[in-house]
Amino acid sequence: MRPLKIELNEISVNYGKIHALKNLNLTINEGDYIGIVGPNGGGKSTMMKSILGLIKPSKGKITYCGTSLKKSDIRMGYVPQISDINRMFPITVEEVVLSGRMSKEIRPFFKYSEEDKKAVEEVLDTVGLKKLKNRQINELSGGEFQKMIIARALTLKPDILLLDEPTAMVDVMSQRQIFSLIKKLSKDITIVLITHHVQMISKNVKKLIYLDRNIIAEGDPNQVYQYAYLRPVHQSIKKRVVGGAHV
Ligand SMILES: Nc1ncnc2c1ncn2[C@@H]1O[C@H](COP(=O)(O)OP(=O)(O)OP(=O)(O)O)[C@@H](O)[C@H]1O
Ligand SMILES: [Mg+2]
């Protein structure tokens, strides 16, 4: 396979009157580990869903190694912001992760192969859940549950892993573990990670993007953090001081 390259060219996404993304340009290259941060409603999930082909942009084009998603042989793993799995469902960790091996086409008497089961063993080992494979999912902690969802996304050996706030609902200890797991994965897989944990992601990536309908700042994490998060604070402090001087 050619080196992975995904290019977003002047992408706009509208939901009725809401302009979620406007003329966005971004290139993802093989081996990248890109962090995406930004305000609520800034279009982060919309951008990820567009890359996955789940949303069709109103304007612009996305190419995958120079071609369409269908024609390219890029395999994408996805960890959605809100999991589609009901935590109370009576199912084991192994069964959930195995479901990642199921292809989208409907096969009436589908049976998992030995190869599928071996792939699941491997990813459970990677995420550190091997011992919990027979656990019911309602007996997992929040952090373990997220690791299981990441394992499921890894079962088809993706070239790129897209994660939408994988640490949103977990305790600080699990957040650290998940960031460290993703860092380890980034040595072999291209990664795009959306998060609100700006400081944690800044320690892990070379490239941070602050997205608010378009890319507002991009590059070295410290500089992006300074620009996107501290500058508005300085400005508001300045404003208040200026305001105070009039009193
Ligand atoms: N299916 C939809 N229908 C209508 N509007 C939508 C839909 N999905 C998202 N939006 C709107 O589009 C904008 C961008 O939403 P999006 O979910 O991409 O933001 P986000 O950056 O992921 O936010 P958050 O950090 O809260 O997850 C928001 O104003 C949101 O309300
Ligand atoms: Mg989102």
Q: Is the CB of 42 under 6 A from ligand 1?
A: yes
Characterize the bridge pairing of strands 207-212 and 5-15: unpaired
Residue with tokens 């009436």: 108
Closest residue (by CA) to atom 29 of ligand 1? Answer: 41
Characterize the bridge pairing of strands 214-219 and 190-194: unpaired
pLDDT band at 185 (very low <50, low <70, confident <90, very high): very high
Q: Is the CB of 46 under 6 A from ligand 1?
A: yes
Asked if residue 234 lies in contact with residue 242, where contact means CB atoms within 8 angstroms, the answer is no
Q: 113 CA to middle of ligand 2, Å?
A: 35
Asked if residue 60 lies in contact with residue 10, where contact means CB atoms within 8 angstroms, the answer is yes
Characterize the bridge pairing of strands 33-37 and 207-212: parallel
Q: Is the CB of 15 under 6 A from ligand 1?
A: yes
Q: 12 CA to middle of ligand 1, Å?
A: 13
Q: 45 CA to middle of ligand 1, Å?
A: 7
**Number of other CB atoms surrounding residue 140 within 10 Å:** 18
Q: Give CA separation, 217 vs 6, 82, 109, 147, 214, in Å.
A: 19, 26, 50, 30, 9
The length of the chain in residues reads: 247
Structure tokens at 97: 């992760």
pLDDT tens for 45-72 read 999 999 999 999 999 999 999 999 999 9
Q: Mean pLDDT across the stretch 89-108?
A: 82
pLDDT reported for residue 22: 96
Cα gap 195→201, rounded to integer Å? 8
Q: 79 CA to middle of ligand 2, Å?
A: 12
Structure tokens at 213: 């309908």
Q: 207 CA to middle of ligand 1, Å?
A: 23
Looking at the predicted structure, is the pLDDT value of residue 80 above 90?
yes
pLDDT reported for residue 109: 64
Cα gap 141→177, rounded to integer Å? 13
Looking at the predicted structure, is the pLDDT value of residue 238 above 80?
no
Closest residue (by CA) to atom 1 of ligand 1? Answer: 15
Structure tokens at 92: 């084991």
What pTM, to 2 d.p., does this model score?
0.91
pLDDT reported for residue 245: 45
Is 136 buried (19+), middle (13-18) or exposed (0-12) by CB count in 10 A?
middle
pLDDT reported for residue 239: 55
Q: Is the CB of 24 under 6 A from ligand 1?
A: no
Q: Mean pLDDT across the stretch 100-125?
A: 81
Closest residue (by CA) to atom 17 of ligand 1? Answer: 45
Q: Mean pLDDT across the stretch 29-57?
A: 96
Cα gap 34→201, rounded to integer Å? 9
Residue with tokens 């992601």: 201
- Helix, coil or strand: residue 71: coil
Cα gap 199→69, rounded to integer Å? 33
Structure tokens at 109: 């008497």
Q: Is the CB of 103 under 6 A from ligand 1?
A: no
pLDDT band at 213 (very low <50, low <70, confident <90, very high): very high
Closest residue (by CA) to atom 31 of ligand 1? Answer: 41
Q: 81 CA to middle of ligand 2, Å?
A: 6
Q: Which of 111-115, 154-158, 199-203, 235-239 has the lowest mean pLDDT?
A: 235-239
